[in-house]
Structure 1
Amino acid sequence: MAKIEDRLIEALGPAKKDTQAPAFVPRKPIPVIGYQRIDGERFHSREFMQREWDHVWTKTWNVGCHVSELAEPGDFRLHTLGKESLLFVRSNDGEIRGFFNICQHRGNLLCQVDSGSLDTFTCPYHGWKWNNDGTLNRIARPELFAQYRDGVPNGELDLAAIRTEIWGGWVWFNLDRHAIGLREYLGEAGSHLETYELEEFQLIDSATFEWNGNWKHAHDAFNESYHFESLHADFMNITEGYDVPIELIGMHSRMINFNLTVSELLGNAEEMTPLREKFLGIGTLVPADYKGSLKDIHLEVIKAKRAIENDTYMPYRRMNDEQLVHQYHYTFFPGTTLTQTPEVSIMFRYRPHPSDPGICYYDFLITERRAPGSEPPVVNHRTYRHGELQDYAEAFDGTFDPFLANVLKQDGSNMTTMQHGTASQGFRGMILGDQEVRIRHFHQQIDRCLMGDYPWLDHG
């Protein structure tokens, strides 16, 4: 067991029995789910990409937008998943709905701006209109359509609806009408995160990065911490992340990254540096005259937050001690990751390109728990094409620290080289260790789908 876990148990004792999210420490054994290599073909084959679309993306729950982006009747936002353009709107009756963004006349893309507020959607090609609840509003020159001389059959020309549900402040959707409900799909892993009261968080920033790599490379990069020591060496000054507790929960998984500490791997773990002073909260989260070990600062912060749990709008009282400071990292199959502290929750979305297995879209969506009554910020979503950014700090409107933005850039730096290398004749397949078990589990879930094994679908 890693030393940081020993100190957590010694200092804080057992987890609170009434907590909704079970603690990670003492850690559970990492399950053995096989040792076979993961082939490279799945990252490059167009045939595999099509099978993923047919058997994974069209049958699973994914996130379309944040509820705050549909605050008022008429507000809408487009979202792209693979080849599909999807339209999410708060209708005039106040209900949030989702539709395929397709004109039912000739198949044109109906709405061609990313967001806004409208009572009706008008196809720019021939002027057909739909109400924002998806019902047909107007056929241009209806006398020219003999088949509708006696009227349009009820619902025949309404927009094609998609199934939507709301959880955690996000609008989720499923392209399969027979799928089980969202809460059942998220399962135990979803109930863990309800401790955070995510529906109270406000969206403060939204950016998309186009990377020259398959979407699964992006997923795999953010679902293990084994790479921290090599790729994010500076990051080890403020976290312990190279060997972390991991748990598999049905088709989903979770891990913890230990914040507000200095890695045991660093020889100068007790030396104060400007970077450590900034991120370890010296003078803010803990007293400026703190004399304890830098590795144990997280313990002081836990005690400080626990002391005010009944006097704050933050949901500290609902959380176990780990949650008060450490990063709880949950991934919901196939393409949604939520990583959070009580104050900030960040969503990663991994999306496939419509036709090229060598390109993906990585969405970085920041939400923050702000004081009740705070004015929601205006968020303008930005998309950055491959190679467009040299400094990832430029992608954020002051909402993400430049040091952390550089960590994100480091993760993205491997996308092109991973895509290139896994296509090589000399690549024999991925060899995954215990700290990469979430990756193996994820690829096994994909394989289950490709074999038609869908425990979350109800076609009865």
Structure 2
Amino acid sequence: MADIHTVRSSRAFSTAPMPRGTDSARPGSVLAKTTSISPSSRTISATPGVRSPSRVARIRSPIRAPSASRWKSRFDRKGEHVAKIENEFVEARGTNGKFQARPFLPRKPIPDIGQAKIDGERFHSREFMQREWDMIWTRTWNIGCHVTELEEPGDFRVHSFGRESLLFVRGEDDVIRGFYNICQHRGNVLCQVREGATERFKCPFHGWEWNLDGSLRQVMHPQLFPQFKNGVPKDDLGMVPLKTDTWGGWVWFNMDENAAPLRDFLGEAGRHLETYQLENYNLIDYKSFEWKGNWKHAHDAFNESYHFEALHPEFLDFAEGFDVPIELLGIHSRMLNFNHTVSEVLSDRDSMTPIRMKMLGVPEGYEGSAKDVHLAIVEYKRSIQDESYIPYKQMNDEQLAHQYHYTFFPGTTFTSTPEMSIVFRYRPHESDPNYCYYDFLITRHDPPGTLPPEFEYRLYRHDELPNYAEAFDATFDPVLANVLQQDGTNMPTMQQGTASRGFKGMILGEQEVRLRHFHQTIDRYLRGDFPMRGDR
């Protein structure tokens, strides 16, 4: 095992070798759906920080919905359907102001990028899996760990990524670096614990050592190597570096040393999310799930809301997933998930039922319709924006109440509110296209100076998947944990069904355009077309 000289007690440190797929660190979680975390609590609730009696007492009169005639004249988009909440929101809040994150509303038409079926072979073929590894995963930027996991010099973190073991460490010069976690002597995995703090890395097999900056520190008995008779070639035997950068509080890596800079890759989508000041969020929970399904099934499950009504009917009482705004941003994409409202699919959008009271985040003193809670939340956050540590002032109205859902190709989704941001990370299995790893990482915008909380990371194998509410314990609302479990339960049946001789290919509707765009981007990379900027 690695030679670890110092391990801080705040870390969940293990000396046992990591099983494949394990990802170390602090845990995280949630969906591309609707939630927020209270800055004063570790429990996710429908709306954090909106129960201040001194503030919300102002919000007492019901908010009137726009008249049908005003809706029709302004929002018909040449006869196309528009979700009712869009009209209600724009009518109440307007579209004034310029913001770094461009508002979705009024929505742009969803682009027509074709109607061809998507074949099922790509989810099962080992040849296709190998091509993805060679042409996509080794050429794109992906997340390794959170910056708060590397707080002090010597802090390190191991990340499993496909067939690779990667090592991230903060050096004595305070620089975060990434390396292939491999001993240059015989190819042994160098650091065989998930995380900790050390002064050097020592291979447990023959004792070769490396410094925190990746330079060779020591070869055990170099006189036994005739190739070293003229001296040990330290430059040639250093740890092999990864292209590494930080953005949004995360450590990103790229295995292509000639890759474009990270911010060029993130493009406009990255600039939008900078308004949240994600670098100030703490990682508060993190769980991994080995799912019996290809990683692309996991991606597809969390990048459309069309399935809400059938798979997650409980969502309809506190969110709108019907006909949401969607935009394609180069190789990336985004959609708007409406929070703190009631879906137009339901006939009664006004009553305050128990589930709505629990999940809508109803401000104290609010007496309006259940469907209009989101408008009261925007009003409240605008009222405190000059005194809050959360940067409400630089966010557009949509961001204050609703979920901005951004996916960076190929395997990273951010779903964010001002108070919390959740990352879904889709990782390929090391050898089998019929499995994948799905990581759920919760970050929270705590008050300045708040230390990251301790938590237990765990990887759940496909044959030991828990009751998800129990897996997250007190960090994730049981209603939302059940929603995640519903998504995970679909993975084996999707994998089985797309392999059937009777399956003729995926038929994707307008609300699934992000999936079509994603699979077209995969095909683009497999053709050898590697965009240097994410906007293209």
Kindly indicate whether residue 448 of structure 2 is the aligned counterpart of residue 367 of structure 1. no
5+ long unaligned stretches in structure 2: 1-81
Of the candidates 277, 282, 287, which is equivalent to residue 364 of structure 2?
Answer: 287
> Partners in 2 of 1:292 and 1:268 — Cα distance?
14
Q: Does the 8 Å contact 1:178/1:457 carry over to 2?
A: no
1:331-346 equivalence runs, <5 A = 331-346=407-422
Pick one of 280, 284, 287 that aligns with 1:200: 280
Aligned-residue offset at 1:137? 0.8
Q: Could you tell me which residue of structure 2 aligns to residue 296 of structure 1?
A: 372
Q: Is the 8 A contact 2:183 2:189 kept in 1?
A: yes
Residue 331 of structure 2 corresponds to 251
CA-atom RMSD in angstroms: 1.1
Aligned to 2:423: 347
- Cα deviation digits, residues 223-280 of structure 1 (max 9, x gap): 0000000000011110001210000000000001100001111122222221100111
Give the aligned residue type for 2:508: L
Q: TM-score, normalised by structure 2?
A: 0.83
The residue identity in structure 1 corresponding to 2:303 is N
Which stretch of structure 1 is more off in the superposition, 119-128 or 60-69?
A: 119-128
Q: Write the mapping of 1:393-412 to structure 2, written as runs, cut at 5 A.
A: 393-412=469-488
**Aligned twin of 2:23:** none
Partner of 1:12: 93
Q: Name the SS of the counterpart of 2:464 in structure 1.
A: coil
> Percent of counterpart pairs with the same letter?
64
Shift of 1:457: 7.8
Matches within 5 A, 1:134-149: 134-149=214-229
| Greater shift in the superposed pair: 272-281 or 84-93 | 272-281
1:397 CA displacement: 4.2
* CA distance in structure 1 between the partners assigned to 2:497 and 2:470 by the alignment: 29
Aligned to 1:34: 114
Partner of 1:62: 142
Is residue 178 of structure 2 the alignment partner of residue 178 of structure 1?
Answer: no
Closer, same or farther: CA 273–387 of 1 in aligned 2, 3 Å: farther
Q: Which moved more, 1:385-394 or 1:313-322?
A: 385-394
Residue 362 of structure 1 aligns with an amino acid whose one-letter code is Y
- Once residues 200 and 457 of structure 1 are traced to their aligned partners in structure 2, the CA distance between those partners, rounded to angstroms, is 26
Q: Which runs of 5+ in 1 are unaligned?
A: none
Q: TM-score, normalised by structure 1?
A: 0.97
Residue by residue over 1:18-72, the C-alpha shift from the partner in whole angstroms, topping out at 9 and shown as x without a partner, is x110111100000000100000000000000000000000000000000000000
Counterpart-to-counterpart distance in 1, 2:230 and 2:124:
52
For 2:368, give the aligned amino acid: G
Cα deviation, residue 301, structure 1: 0.7
Q: Is the 8 A contact 1:205 1:397 kept in 2?
A: no
Displacement of 1:380 in angstroms is 3.0
Match for 1:86 among 166, 173, 178? 166
Which amino acid in structure 2 is aligned with residue 174 of structure 1? N
User: 1:50-449 counterparts in 2 under 5 A?
Assistant: 50-282=130-362, 286-288=363-365, 290-449=366-525
* Mapped partners of 1:140, 1:292: distance in 2: 74
C-alpha separation in 2, matches of 1:25 and 1:457: 26
What is the alpha-carbon distance in structure 2 between the residues aligned to residue 329 and residue 152 of structure 1? 51
Alignment size in residue pairs: 453
| 1:330-374 deviations in Å (ceiling 9; x for gaps) | 000000000010001000000000110000000000000001111
Tell me if 1:25 matches 2:101. no
- What is the rounded CA distance, in whole Å, between the counterparts of 1:216 and 1:163 in structure 2? 25
Amino acid at match of 2:293: G
Question: Aligned equivalents of 2:261 and 2:133: distance in 1?
Answer: 20
AA of the residue aligned to 1:158: G
Q: CA deviation at 1:154?
A: 4.2
1:3 corresponds to: 84
Query: For residues 77-100 of structure 1, what are the alpha-carbon distances to aligned partners after superposition, in whole Å with 9 as ceiling and x for unaligned?
Result: 111111000000001111100000
Asked if structure 1 preserves the Cα contact closer than 8 Å seen for 2:390 and 2:445, the reply is: yes
- In the alignment, what sits opposite 2:35? none
Distance 2:399 2:327 in 1: 16
Once residues 121 and 373 of structure 1 are traced to their aligned partners in structure 2, the CA distance between those partners, rounded to angstroms, is: 31
Contact map agreement 2:244 2:253 (CA 8 A) in 1: yes
Q: Verify the 8 A CA contact 2:290 2:459 in the aligned structure 1.
A: yes
Whole-angstrom distance in 1 between the partners of 2:167 and 2:466: 32
Deviates more, 1:394-403 or 1:71-80: 394-403
Q: Please tell me the residue identity of whatever aligns with 2:454.
A: V
Q: Is the 8 A contact 1:323 1:341 kept in 2?
A: yes
Find the aligned partners of 2:153 and 2:508 in 1 and give their Cα distance: 49
TM-fit CA distance, 1:153: 2.6
